[in-house]
Structure 1
Amino acid sequence: MAEDEINYASVVFKSNKNPPSDDKKEEETVCDEVKVQHKTSEQSADTKEFSQDSDKKDEETVYDEVKVQHKTSEQSADTKGFSQDSDKIHEETRRPHCQCLACCLGILCVILLSGIIAMMVHLALKQTCDASELKQLKDNLTALLDVKDNLTNRNQQLSSENEELNRNYSNLQVQYENLTQAYSVLERNITNLTAQNQELESQRDNLTQQIKDMETKWKDDNVTRAQWSIDQYCPKDNNGRTCEACQQQWYNNQSSCYAVNNAERSNQKTWEEAREDCRGKNSDLAVIVNEAQKKFTTDNSWKQAGISGYWIGLKVEDGRWKWVDGTNLTNDLWIEPPVNGRCATSLQSQGWKSVNCADKNAWICGKKPLSV
C-alpha cells in the first residue's frame, strides 16, 4: 500500500480592484485540511487500507491554509467557482478524517477497557494477596502474642528466681558472717585450749614428778609402816619381840580387833566423822556378827562422864539396818526398828540404841587380826 503524503499549503485570494470603502469587509481566513494523493487511481483502496491499518501506519497530513479575502460584490465568477471546488474538496477529505477519529476512539476504548480489566484483575489479585497477607499477618501477630506471653511468663519466672536467689544470697551472706564469727570464736578457743593444754602438760609433768616423789615416799612409808606394824604387833621386851594378833592398845576378841575411843565431849564425833577416823587407822567402825562380839563390845563401852554412847558400824539404809561392810543386821532384837537417818550406839549396861547420826559420841573401831 502506498503511503499518503500530506502537505500544508497556504492560499490567499485577493481582488484585483480596491472595493469601495462602504463595502469593505474584514478579511477571513479559512483553514481546511487538504489531503493530496500522489495517485488518484488508488484513492479508494488507500482509504480502506487506512481505516484498517491505521494503527500500523502514521498518516502525514499537510494542512493548507486557505486565506479567503472577502471581496466586494464585484467578485469574479472564477472566485466563486474556486470556493465551490474548495467545499467539495473539504467534504471529501472530511470523511476519512472522521473514520480515523472513530478508529482512534475505538482503539482508545479497547485500551481503556483493557486497562480497566487489567486494573480489576490487578485489584482482585491484590485483594487476594492482601487477604492472604492479612491472614499471614494475623497468624504472625498471634504467634508474636504467644511469644510475648511466653516471654512475659519467663520474665516473671526469672524475676521470681532472681528474688529467690537474692534471698538465698542474703541468707548465705548472714550464714557466712555467722561462720566468720564462729571461726573467730573457734580460733580464740583454739588459742585458749592451746594455752590450757600447755598448762595441763605442765601440770601433768608436775603430777608425774609428784607421783614419783609419792612413790618414793610411799616406799619409805611402807618401810616405816612395816616397822611400825612390827613395833605394834611385835613389841620389844627384855626377852626380845613377842608378836600379838592385835596391835598395842587394841582388844582381841575371836576374829576381830577392837579399839575403844572414849574421847571427851569436846573431841567426840558424828557417825561419819568417827568412821573417817577409823579408816585413818586402817580399820572401820566395829561390825558385830554374833552374840559374843555383841557382849564384848557392850562390856567395853564404858560409862564415863560426858559419854552417852559409842558409835558402832550399824546404820539405817533404805529402811533397813545395815553394817558398814554391806551386810544386813541378822537379829532385829538387838536394836529398835529402823528409821532413816538413825545410827546405832553401844553403852555398857544399856545395850544398843538408835540415835540421830548427827549426834556426837565416842566410837569403837574394828578390824581383822594379824595372822601370827
Structure 2
Amino acid sequence: MAEDVNYASVVFKNKNRSRPEAKNEEETVYDEVKVKKNSTEQSPDTNDKKADGRRRHYRLLACCLVTFCVILLLGIIAICVYKKMNLTMQNQKLETQNQELEMETRNLINQIKDMEAKGNELNISRAQWSIDAYCPKDGGRRCKSCQPGWNLFQPSCYVVLDYKNSTDRKTWEEARELCKIRSSDLVVADNAEEKTYVHVNSYDRPENEGYWIGLKVEDGKWKWVDGSDLANSSWIENPTDGHCAISRQTQGWKSVKCNNRNNWICEQKSLSV
C-alpha cells in the first residue's frame, strides 16, 4: 500500500516576547507528515474487488468441475454404448455361426443317411459277390474254400500273378493295389511252412526277376503289410530304405528297389465250409 501524505499547520510561539508581538510574529510552518495507514483499514472498493475476485475464482472452479463431470458422464455413456454395440455384433455373429453349424449338421445327417443306404447296398453286393465267388451256381451252389483260380494252403488262399510281358508287371505299390481289388493283399509268410510254400510257387524264369511279397522296409526295419515286424531277419539281407522283397525259387527272398516292375503273389483268408 502506498503511503498517504497529509499536510498539517504547526505554529511555534516565542515565550520571551510579549503576547502581541508574539501574535504578530507568528510564523506558520508547513511540514509534511507521512502517516501510515493501518493495513487492516482498507477502502470499501478494495474489499469489493477482492470479493469479486474470489467469486470469479469459485465460479471458474465450479465451471471446471461441472465440465469434468459432463465429460466423465459422456465417457461412461460412450463406453456403455460401445459395449452394447459390441455385444450386439457378437450375438449376431454367434447366431450366424449357429445357423451355419445347424446347416452343416443337417447336411452331415443327410450324407450319413445316404452313406448308410449306399453301404447297405454295397454290403449286399459284396455278400452276393462272395456267395457267387465261393459258391458258384454251376453244379448247384457247391461252396469251396477259395475262389476259382486261387490255391488253398493252410487257412489262406493264394494266387500267383505271372505275366510274361514285362509291360504287365507292376511296382510293389501297384501290385498291392491290384491285390486289394481282389479283396486280398500281398502275401505275408510269417512262418516257415508258409515261407516254403511261397518259395516253391515263385517260379524261376530267366525273364522274371521274382515275385513281390508283402515285405517292405519302413523306418529302417522290414515290415509286413499287416503291420508286423519280420520275425526272422536271417531270411533276407539287411534293410535298405526304398527297398521291398521279392521271392525266387533259386535265391529265396531278395531285397530290390520298390519301383522295379515284377510279378506278385496275393493272399486272402479262406472260407470255412
TM-score exceeds 0.5: yes
What's the counterpart of residue 178 of structure 2? 277
Distance 1:363 1:203 in 2: 45
Check conservation: 1:299, 1:349, Cα contact below 8 A. Answer: no
**Which of the pair is proportionally richer in strand?**
2
SS in 1 for 2:267: strand
Distance 1:203 1:102 in 2: 138
Alignment of 1:353 with 2:254, yes or no, is yes
CA drift at 1:251: 1.6
* Post-superposition CA distance 1:52-96 (Å, at most 9, x none): xxxxxxxxxxxxxxxxxxxxxxxxxxxxxxxxxxxxxxxxxxxxx
Give the 5 Å matches for 1:1-372: 101-106=20-25, 108-109=26-27, 112=28, 119=31, 122-123=33-34, 126=35, 129=36, 201=103, 205=107, 211-238=112-139, 240-263=140-163, 264-304=165-205, 306-372=207-273
Could you list the runs of 5+ residues in structure 1 that have no partner in the other structure? Answer: 1-97, 134-182
Task: Give the paired residue count.
Answer: 201
Distance 2:245 2:19 in 1: 168
CA drift at 1:103: 3.7
Distance 1:349 1:361 in 2: 16
**Which of the pair is proportionally richer in helix?**
1
Distance 2:106 2:250 in 1: 57
CA drift at 1:101: 4.9
CA drift at 1:281: 2.4
CA drift at 1:208: 5.7
Aligned sequence identity (%): 46
CA drift at 1:245: 2.3
Point out 4+ residue stretches in structure 1 off by more than 6 angstroms. Answer: none
Could you list the runs of 5+ residues in structure 2 that have no partner in the other structure? Answer: 1-16, 40-85
* TM-score of the pair, normalised by structure 2: 0.62
SS in 2 for 1:316: strand
Distance 1:310 1:102 in 2: 171
Distance 2:129 2:205 in 1: 31
Residue type of the alignment partner of 2:153: N
Residue type of the alignment partner of 2:24: L
Distance 1:216 1:319 in 2: 44
CA drift at 1:214: 4.2
- 1:202 to 1:247, Cα distance in 2 relative to 1, 3 A: same
Residue type of the alignment partner of 1:253: F
Q: Give the CA RMSD over aligned residues.
A: 3.4
SS in 2 for 1:223: helix
Larger radius of gyration: 1
SS in 2 for 1:236: coil
Distance 2:222 2:19 in 1: 162
